[in-house]
Structure 1
Amino acid sequence: MPLHPDSPAPMNDDLLRDTERFLHEQIPLTRAMGVQMESYDGSQLVVTAPLEPNHNHLGTAFGGSLSALATLAGYAMLWLQLGDRHAHIVIRESTLRYKRPVRGTLRAVCLRPDDASMTAFRNTFADTGKARLALQVQIIDADQICVLFEGTFVALR
């Protein structure tokens, strides 16, 4: 069953716009893709991109765009959770499973990890200046899971 992209209204629209602005300034590909932070309620982040600049020769979403959007959703979730604007976040490893084509808006949904995982991550980061966190992202179209992403992100001070 897909994660439900119809989360409550954004917790803080300014925070979403700041995150979107940061991504567009620091990762130029996000501008070209049309990436937008759709919503964030503290436990679920939804990141979107229009199909038009991200389609392939078949008129469905290009696999590279799906991969990039899933990675960006995980990156943005960690950026929001970390709250340290001087930290560097990188992807360490990831896997993707393409289950069905995306024919509409690319919509990546990333759930916040459980409290125990977040606490361990934050404690390690505070103690050592480096910590890793596994995140899962689903790309959903027409209420169906189209892409499953699992990635390990590392935050560095």
Structure 2
Amino acid sequence: MIHCRAPQNDAEFIQYYQLRWQVLRAPWQQPQGSEKDELEPSAIHRMIIDEQGNVLAVGRLHIDQYWCGHIRYMATASDAQGNGYGKVVIDALEAEASQRGVKKICLNARELAVAFYEKLGYQVTGSAHVLYDEIQHFRMEKSLREAKESHSELLKQLQSTWHQTIPMSLAMGMSADYFDGQQFVTHCDVSFNKNLHNTMFAGSIYTLATLTGWGWVYLSLQTANIDADIVLAKADIKYLAPIPDVACAKVDVNKIQGDVAQLSQSNKARFTLSINLFSGDKIAATFNGAYVAIKS
């Protein structure tokens, strides 16, 4: 059985980068290390690994400040080609991009890979660079489908509520990206929220987390057709790593205590949420908040 997921430890990252180098750099006598760039810490990495721990295919997604996704470093081991692993990696990266509110994926495909990407819905938009003076690349793009219409409307409603009632959220560029009843994902503008170290300002991280928790409760109430005021009763945050680039906040239903059904028996309901803030795949901060919904 194979699994498609992010590398989980240093040993897996070593294998992940080794496969990149073997497929994409070694045949052109490039040194180890040339398979990496400065975006690795803030990127989203996916690999296919088998039960024996062998890495069979890899790929990377990076989201830029304009919230466009870029897929790079796609590679499949020579003895694993022809099994559809490349499509599995692309599907996983696109799913992650979609959950983070990305509407368009861009990539530069080697000439021999253009047909592969065309089968997955990508279109050539022009010629790109020539790698090592011999490998022609082509720019390709694909638009991602938006969330279900009902959830899309709810997300627009929430974002409008934020921006109209909390001026800081508008200045921060807060965006409600994805909601399916199981997960809720948000992000904010990159450039506005940076500090003098060129990483995300701690106050912006806290605000993003606070409003994400508030947003989950809001969406849950709206889904149940319940009107209630929402207040933050208690919160704490742990800053685990700097966020040099795009950050997103995620709420998972499995990390929530409380139910809107409480409001059918009482005028109040309490929700306790645990929220992770990510820089790429890495958890950069954890936020725990207690919110109270008071029936209108």
TM-score by length of 1: 0.88
Decide whether aligned partners of structure 1 residues 85 and 123 sit closer, same or farther in structure 2, where only a CA change above 3 A counts.
closer
Matched positions, count: 152
Tell me which residue corresponds to 1:16: 155
Q: Distance in 1 between matches of 2:170 and 2:196?
A: 21
Tell me which residue corresponds to 1:137: 275
Q: CA RMSD in A?
A: 2.2
1:85-117 Cα distance to aligned partner (Å, 9 max, x none):
6311011111101000011122111112479x4
Contact 2:173 2:189 in 1 (8 A): yes
Are 2:189 and 1:50 aligned? yes
Tell me which residue corresponds to 1:80: 219
Are 2:228 and 1:64 aligned? no
- Which structure has more strand as a fraction of its residues? 2
Q: Which has more radius of gyration?
A: 2
Amino acid at match of 1:39: Y
Select 2:177's aligned residue among 21, 38, 57: 38
Secondary structure in 2 matching 1:22: helix
Q: Which runs of 4+ in 1 moved over 2 A?
A: 7-12, 112-115, 121-124
Same amino acid, percent of matched pairs:
27
Secondary structure in 1 matching 2:265: helix
Tell me which residue corresponds to 1:29: 168
Decide whether aligned partners of structure 1 residues 114 and 32 sit closer, same or farther in structure 2, where only a CA change above 3 A counts.
closer
Amino acid at match of 2:270: R
Contact 1:125 1:131 in 2 (8 A): yes
Higher RCO (C-alpha 8 Å, min separation 6): 1
Contact 1:20 1:36 in 2 (8 A): yes
Q: Distance in 2 between matches of 1:134 and 1:98?
A: 19
Amino acid at match of 1:101: P
- Shift of residue 47 of structure 1? 0.5
Secondary structure in 1 matching 2:196: coil
Decide whether aligned partners of structure 1 residues 49 and 114 sit closer, same or farther in structure 2, where only a CA change above 3 A counts.
closer
Structure 1 segment 142-153 matched on structure 2, within 5 A:
142-153=280-291
Q: Distance in 1 between matches of 2:253 and 2:155?
A: 15
Unaligned runs of 5+ in 1: none
Unaligned runs of 5+ in 2: 1-7, 9-91, 101-145
Amino acid at match of 2:248: R
Q: Between 23-32 and 63-72, report the one with greater CA deviation.
A: 23-32
Amino acid at match of 2:232: I
Q: Distance in 2 between matches of 1:77 and 1:51?
A: 22
Contact 1:82 1:122 in 2 (8 A): yes
Q: Distance in 2 between matches of 1:72 and 1:95?
A: 14
Contact 2:221 2:227 in 1 (8 A): no
Tell me which residue corresponds to 2:265: 127
